[in-house]
Chain A
Amino acid sequence: MKRQQFVTRLVSFAVFIILEAASLCLITNNSSLQRIWVSKAGHSFMGTVWGASQGIRNYFSLSETNKQLSQENYELRRELDKANVQLRQMNADSAVVSSRPGFEMIPAEVVKISRNKQHNYLILNKGYADGIKENSGVVARGGVIGIVDAISEHHCFAFSFQNSDVSISARIGSEGSSGLLIWDGIHNAGAILKELPLQSKYSPGDTVYTSGHSLLFPPDIPLGIAGKAKVVNGATNQVSVSLFQDFSAIRYVTVVHNDAFDEIEEFME
């Protein structure tokens, strides 16, 4: 009995749908207004259905997408790590590498450094097998680091700028007077620019650069900021300099060698 009722209801519903569909077909075939309306409604319905089904499909494919993203993330992290290492090395060199014509540049890594003596030194991981030559300078992003003194096959020994025997030629301001820059022997970032002419003009806060008068270093490498000045023996000025370079954080450096060094030395002899 119940089954018969169910079948009757099913048949009724089927007839209802068929007749309604037939009526709708008749309407759309005989009236353009209703045809447009039904067409719009159909498009809207299909859009909703497709949108919903696409949303559901996207939701269930999230797991796979997450896996792919995770893998991609891992690959990108690896690439980033590699790039960071390269960037650190390049940054250490960048201050001088790209704009120093006439100088050969070789990147190197500091393997040992002394900082608590009056005659400090550093050892780099590049030697003559890597193209390091004597009479080369050592620079980093923050300025001058030292001067190469001895070379082995894969390493070289350099006097640190924090060595009382080392002095370099420096200029105050972009077009100011030149003098000798030496470590003050006390502070990590302290230096003294001495033997400046009395008539030279400068102000505290001016930047101190390499002068380029030395054959070891290219000109215009920023070294530090000029501070207080005093007259020495009534003949020259002496200016305190606060260095840019933090010697406690040196890792990557660049060994610079003047291509014309030998020629100029020969000429001078």
Chain B
Amino acid sequence: MRKNAFWIVYVMLLLGQLLISNYFTFTPYITLSILPVMVLCISTSVSTPATMIIAFLTGLAVDWLSEGVLGLNAIALVPVAYIRKPVIQFIFGNSLSARKEDFTVQSNGQLSVMVAILAVQAVFLAIYIWVDGAGMRPFWFNVARFFASLAAGLLVSVFTLTPLASDNRR
């Protein structure tokens, strides 16, 4: 039941991301995305290949239903799914994976969770901005866009932690 609740929240957040992608377009410097934190919070009991496929489909859905380049979110989100387990292991330690438990804000602390979000957001944005720019935009613009989007994404992701990474998930 709790697992099903997670996936319902996941789909709702996906809809939220669609709204962001379609309406949050007032500055080219900020690419607001909660997709990395959504993929990060998928249970570690789901295998990496399965997580990558979920991430791919999620990215594709956002690309298809918003006015983006088809495949752009997918290409940036699949690596997030690929590095998800190593990131969790590195930040939260081996004991978590040994107990086959998922991280939560309550048990692992807000700071550690923020660091994990920062890592996956950074990977996602680096690939997204690089591919989106296609070598046409100046380096300084890409750097500014990266840091602005990272800060904004981190802030928005914090609000998604309550439904995604709380104790209710267990």
B71 touches A15 (CB 8 A): no
B134 touches A11 (CB 8 A): no
Which listed residue, A11, A34, A36, A40, touches B131 by the CB 8 Å rule? A34
B74 touches A12 (CB 8 A): no
Expressed in whole angstroms, the Cα–Cα distance for A25 and B70 within the complex equals 9
Check if A16 is an interface residue, CB within 8 A of chain B. Answer: yes
B59 touches A16 (CB 8 A): no
A34-B52 contact, Cβ under 8 Å, with A19-B78, A24-B75: no
Check if B28 is an interface residue, CB within 8 A of chain A. Answer: no
B74 touches A19 (CB 8 A): yes
B71 touches A30 (CB 8 A): yes
Check if A37 is an interface residue, CB within 8 A of chain B. Answer: yes
Check if B111 is an interface residue, CB within 8 A of chain A. Answer: no
Expressed in whole angstroms, the Cα–Cα distance for A31 and B72 within the complex equals 10
Which listed residue, A19, A25, A37, touches B53 by the CB 8 Å rule? A19
A15 touches B52 (CB 8 A): yes
**What secondary structure prevails in chain A residues at the interface with B?**
helix
Name the CB-closest residue of B to A9: B48
Q: A16-B78, A16-B79, A26-B63 are in contact. List 14 more A-B contacts (CB 8 A).
A: A8-B47, A8-B48, A12-B48, A12-B82, A19-B53, A20-B78, A23-B59, A23-B72, A26-B71, A26-B74, A27-B75, A27-B131, A40-B135, A41-B135
Measured CB to CB, the residues of A under 8 A from B are 8, 11-12, 15-16, 19-20, 22-27, 29-31, 33-34, 36-37, 40-41
* 22 sampled A-B residue pairs with Cβ under 8 A: A8-B47, A11-B49, A12-B47, A12-B48, A15-B49, A16-B78, A16-B79, A19-B53, A20-B75, A20-B78, A22-B56, A23-B59, A23-B71, A23-B78, A24-B71, A27-B72, A27-B131, A29-B70, A30-B69, A30-B71, A33-B134, A37-B136
For the complex of A and B, 10 pairs with smallest distance between CB atoms: A26-B71, A23-B75, A37-B134, A27-B71, A15-B49, A30-B70, A23-B71, A23-B74, A12-B48, A31-B69
